[in-house]
Structure 1
Amino acid sequence: MSKKSIDTSPDSGPIVATFFRFVIPSTLSLLAISTASVVDGFFVGNYIGADALAAVNLLMPYFALLFGVALMFAVGGSVKASIYIGDKKYTLASSLFSQVFFVILAMAVLAVPLSLVFSEYLFAALGATPSLYPLMQSYFEVFCFVTVVQLTCLVMYYFIRADNRPELGMRALMLGAFINVALDALFIGKFGWGIEGAAWATLIGQVIQLIYISSYFFSGRNSLKLSLPVFRIKELGFIAFNGFSEFINEFSIGLVILVFHWVISRQSGIEGIAAFSVVNYLIYISLMVYYGIIDAMHVLLGQNFGAQRVDRVKAFMRIAAISIATLSIMLVVMLHVFEGPIIAFFLDDDAENAQQLAQNFLHIIWPIFLFNGFNVLICAYLTSAEQAMHSSIIAMLRSLILPIGFALLLSIMLPDVGFLYAVPVAEALAFIFSLIFYINYRPALLIKKSFE
């Protein structure tokens, strides 16, 4: 008997098989992106020290800003390019790809000399103390060039996915992450190159990743061609507007981290920044897993909304919610059972004060993991249902307005650690708003309205 392949089309395949067919590659891709940062954190914290870990994490808001701009153009442009490809307008798609590629390349290249010339002003604005400037400078001088490669690779990743080649992007990201891990162990663990070794490991990993993903142009299956484009300002403005929500998300995260760094630096100094870095890494990893589910849900929900399949929309939301709930509970249990080893993964035994602060921070922060996955899921649902305004409201509430508002308020009411309660309180309140929006715009009502 010949075996028939299982239909895993979003609008007709078995719910569970289809869900995991889309979720697994998406999650692996995003975990590969986050691996480089986490591995850097492990080697920097354990082999160099808490000061170095603080130095690296203080730079995060700046790189989040650059990443947000690149993501805005990459997402907005790839959506438009996918429409062109669907209409067989390959010349227009290639022109758009080339415009975005060179805009981001120019921005990243221009940022290098500007960043290096004004580095000390930037470090001060990021809340660093002068004692950290040498460590930050050593890392920053190399990592500025990392962003040039990383951001151009990001553009290629999104446009190649638009051309139905997600597996190539996934392999490239995983290869880059593996190289980064191996070189971190070699440069920091064996050669003792310090914080510069972490930056060089990331740079080489990103270059190899870019080389691999560039094989797309020689595959013979590429619809997109890279060439010197004629820049169309109106078109670039449109795709920037279309991807603006992605910029807001990244910018908001960077801004919240910046505010927290300022507060922690005044209260606990460098050790506090290093301790909060552990919390940042854990939140980052959890969000990457959730976003892996969310990226898949955009496709699964969007096609079934278009097909008026309310039963399948409900089913995919149900399995996504169960998956997120399971992951959330597992993460919370792991944090409580393996709290010590998790902290020790990033901070060595010599950083006793930083370890204790990290433990205190986790005791306050942990409820965030019960809510943030559901918030991003409902945001994705509302976006797929073309309720962009409500999705944006939730995103702004959970990532910017509520965290900063509560941080300022609670730091007055509870001067020592009050600002930390802002994060779980903000996610919990945002979850209430998310549920209200979901109930008011549940699948049956939305699909019923589309018939009217």
Structure 2
Amino acid sequence: MVVNIKNNILKDFAKYVSLNVISMIGMSFYILADTFFIANGVGSVGLTGLNLVLPLWSLVSGIGLMIGMGAGIRYSIQIGKNNERGANRVFTHAIVMGVSVGIIITIIGLFFSYDIVKLLGADEVVAPLAGEYLKTLLSFSCIFILNNIITAFVRNDNEPNLAMIAMILGSLSNIVLDYVFIFPFKLGMFGAALATGTTPILSLIILSTHFIRKKNNFKLTKCKFNLSYAKGIISLGIPSFITEFSSGIIILLFNFTILRISNNTGVAAYGIIANLALIVVSIFTGIAQGIQPIISKNHGKGEAKNIRAIFKYGLITSIVLGIGCYFIGFRFSDEIVNLFNSEGDMILQSMAVDGVKIYFIAFIIMGLNIVTTSFFASINKAKESFIISISRGLVVIIPLIILLPNFLGMTGVWLTIPLAEVITLLISSTLYLKYRKEIST
């Protein structure tokens, strides 16, 4: 019996994690595809503009993940307790919150995009391209946020494979549309943003089959909006928001620092690395999202042994994949960077290759921190999850990005993330050991 239980847990882990990793990689290709086609179709100026507006993309994506992950955890716990009414109220609140925030961001994007990119550091050459891209992208804010929310609920409603299919087909359509809009149609930055903005529509159409086939165990229900429900969703989802949005804040801080050291060429080099990093972060996020439904349901049932086993599998998987990603980046750094350097800029090439070899060291440790963040959120330990996410996202990085470049130049920039992950690992390990001590007493 014990062997069968372990086999079932491992089977569930493999299913949910593999499908979510593939889904999140697909999602990361939204921007990576833009990076590749803009670099080859618009040039380094377009690449600089794209990198300057990435913090705003991270904001929108982070809000969607925050509501989706927070509500998904609440939903799974309610299902574990057989509380169908509570589960439907969680879903209803998530949709209302997502649409409301999406409308606000859309309005801001339509009227203030060009002012925003100037505040982000765009000069008179970059600002027109960056502003056009941002205005178009933010016009689809509601769609992006709703896509993240519905994906989270479908995944938590025992259909992680459908969530994966929606993400993958959406990403593939983005690649195709990027090529069509930028090259044959010659729409430049507008075309890249339009391709990225329309692809979640396809994902939502695919996800809608979950309702058409009446597979859904959740639905919109008539209820009064309750602030305590909203706070509960946000408290559990805020670590996912910080993980996503902090990447945008980091990009912003790095951009200002790099502009001072190496001008637009340095920003373009960092843009390549930041977008490559998004793929690897998406792998770790996929592991974190994959273990969430299983841990939350087992938490609702009080199955502590199952929770520990799933967490252990998540940590092992993140270490193995992190080492693999670092090896690929180190061994093939020149070939990878060359894909985004269509103009053959040797300074850009050298700078980005050096950055990949140093920056990618962080991947060996990063997954451990992201998975531990998800673990604490999944068992309703919002405080511990928040501490880890805010540490690796902002608190540790800010002093490092201010200090290290002053002494080491661009090498200091590249070393910031690896060192921040090491420090955060010490924090997350301490919190986990404290948690184990509490439950054993």
With normalisation by structure 1, the TM-score equals: 0.87
Q: Does the aligned pair in 2 maintain the 1:74–1:155 contact within 8 Å?
A: yes
Query: Which 10-residue stretch deviates more, 191-200 or 82-91?
Result: 82-91
One-letter amino acid of the counterpart of residue 416, structure 2: A
1:172 deviates by 1.3
Q: SS at the partner of 1:367?
A: helix
- Identify the residue that residue 372 of structure 1 maps to in structure 2: 366
Decide whether aligned partners of structure 1 residues 360 and 87 sit closer, same or farther in structure 2, where only a CA change above 3 A counts.
closer
Per the TM alignment, residue 110 of structure 1 is displaced from its structure 2 partner at its CA by 2.7
Q: Contact 1:142–1:199 (CA<8 Å) still a contact in 2?
A: yes
Kept in 1, the 8 Å contact 2:156–2:293? The answer is no
Please identify the structure whose Cα radius of gyration is greater. Answer: 1
Match of 2:132 in 1: 138
Call closer, same or farther: CA 1:107–1:303 in 2, change over 3 Å: closer
* More deviation, 119-128/242-251: 242-251
Q: Give the conservation status (yes or no) of the 8 Å contact 1:58–1:128.
A: yes
Q: Are 1:42 and 1:347, in contact at CA under 8 Å, matched by a contact in 2?
A: no
Work out whether 1:61 is the aligned partner of 2:37: no
Cα distance between partner residues in 2 of 1:198 and 1:8? 51
Q: Which residue of 2 aligns with 1:120?
A: 114
1:79-109 Cα shifts (integer Å, max 9, x gaps): 3334444555545544442333133223212
Query: Judging changes above 3 Å, is the alpha-carbon distance between structure 1 residues 191 and 358 closer, same or farther for their aligned structure 2 residues?
Result: same
**Contact in 2 for aligned 1:50/1:354 (Cα 8 Å):** no
Q: 1:54 to 1:413 in 2, by over 3 A?
A: same
| 1:282 and 2:282 are equivalent in the alignment | no
Q: 1:78 to 1:257 in 2, by over 3 A?
A: same
Q: Deviations over 1:114-151 (max 9, x none)?
A: 22322232112222222111111221232122322111
Corresponding residue SS for 2:246: helix
Q: What are the within-5 Å matches in structure 2 for residues 101-120 of structure 1?
A: 101-120=95-114
State the partner residue of 1:262: 256
Q: Out of 37, 49, 68, which is 2:31 matched to?
A: 37
Rounded to whole Å, the distance in 2 between the matches of 1:293 and 1:184 is 28
Structure 1 counterpart of 2:112, one-letter code: F
Distance change >3 Å, CA 370–CA 225, structure 1 → 2:
closer
Partner of residue 307 from structure 1, selected from 303, 306, 321 = 303
Quick check: 1:404–1:422 contact (8 Å CA) kept in 2? Answer: no
- 2:336 is matched with which residue: 338, 342, 346? 342
Shift of 1:218: 1.9
- Once the two structures are superposed, what CA deviation does each residue of 1:376-415 show, in whole Å capped at 9, x if it has no partner? 2333444456654344333222221111111112233334
Residues of 1 paired with 2:73 and 2:428: CA distance?
Answer: 26
Give the structure-2-normalised TM-score: 0.89
Query: What code does the residue aligned with 1:292 have?
Result: G
Counterpart CA distance in 1 for 2:231 and 2:379 is 24
Equivalent residue letter for 2:440: K
Where does residue 144 of structure 2 map in the other structure?
150
Larger deviation: 180-189 or 397-406? 180-189
Match of 1:400 among 394, 400, 408: 394
Residue in 2 that maps onto 1:191: 185
Is 2:295–2:307's contact at 8 Å kept on the other side of the alignment?
Answer: yes
After TM superposition, the structure 1 stretch with the greater mean CA deviation from structure 2, 300-309 or 399-408, is 300-309
| Count, aligned residues | 439
Contact 2:284-2:370 at 8 Å conserved across structures: yes
- Quote the offset at 1:436 in angstroms: 3.9
Instruction: Map 1:293-332 onto structure 2 (within 5 A).
Output: 293-301=287-295, 306-309=302-305, 316-332=310-326
Report the Cα distance in structure 1 between the residues aligned to 2:314 and 2:212, rounded to whole angstroms. Answer: 37
- Equivalence for 1:292: 286
Question: Which has the larger displacement, 200-209 or 297-306?
Answer: 297-306
Following superposition, the deviation at residue 51 of structure 1 comes to: 1.2
CA contact (8 A) 2:66 2:241 kept: yes
Partners of 1:91 and 1:384 in 2: CA distance? 20
**1:106 corresponds to which letter in structure 2?**
S
Q: Which runs of 5+ in 1 are unaligned?
A: 1-5
What SS does the aligned partner of 1:118 have?
helix
Moved more, 161-170 or 341-350: 161-170
The corresponding residue for 1:3 is: none
1:448 aligns with 2:440: yes
Q: Which runs of 5+ in 2 are unaligned?
A: none
User: 2:152 and 2:375 mapped to 1: Cα distance?
Assistant: 21
> Closer, same or farther in 2 for the Cα pair 1:82/1:408, shift >3 Å?
same
Q: Which residue of 2 aligns with 1:423?
A: 417
Alignment partners' CA distance in 2, 1:394 and 1:368? 16
User: Structure 1: which 4+ aligned runs deviate by more than 6 Å?
Assistant: 6-9
Cα separation, 1, equivalents of 2:40 and 2:49: 14
Are the equivalent residues in 1 in contact too, given 2:114–2:128 (CA < 8 A)? no
**Structure 1 residue 78, shift from structure 2 partner:** 2.9
Which residue number corresponds to residue 357 of structure 1? 351
Residue pair 2:37, 2:182 contacting (<8 A) in 1 also: yes
Q: Distance in 1 between matches of 2:237 and 2:276?
A: 27
Post-superposition Cα deviations, 1:152-204, rounded to whole Å, max 9, x if no partner, equal: 11121122233333332222111211111122222224333322221222223
| Displacement after TM superposition at 1:24 (Å) | 1.0
> What SS does the aligned partner of 1:192 have?
coil
What SS class does the counterpart of residue 59 from structure 1 fall into?
Answer: helix
Contact 1:61 1:126 in 2 (8 A): no
Q: Which amino acid aligns with 1:126?
A: L
Counterpart in the other structure of 1:178: 172
Q: CA RMSD in A?
A: 2.9
In 2, the alpha carbon distance for the partners of 1:23 and 1:372 equals 17
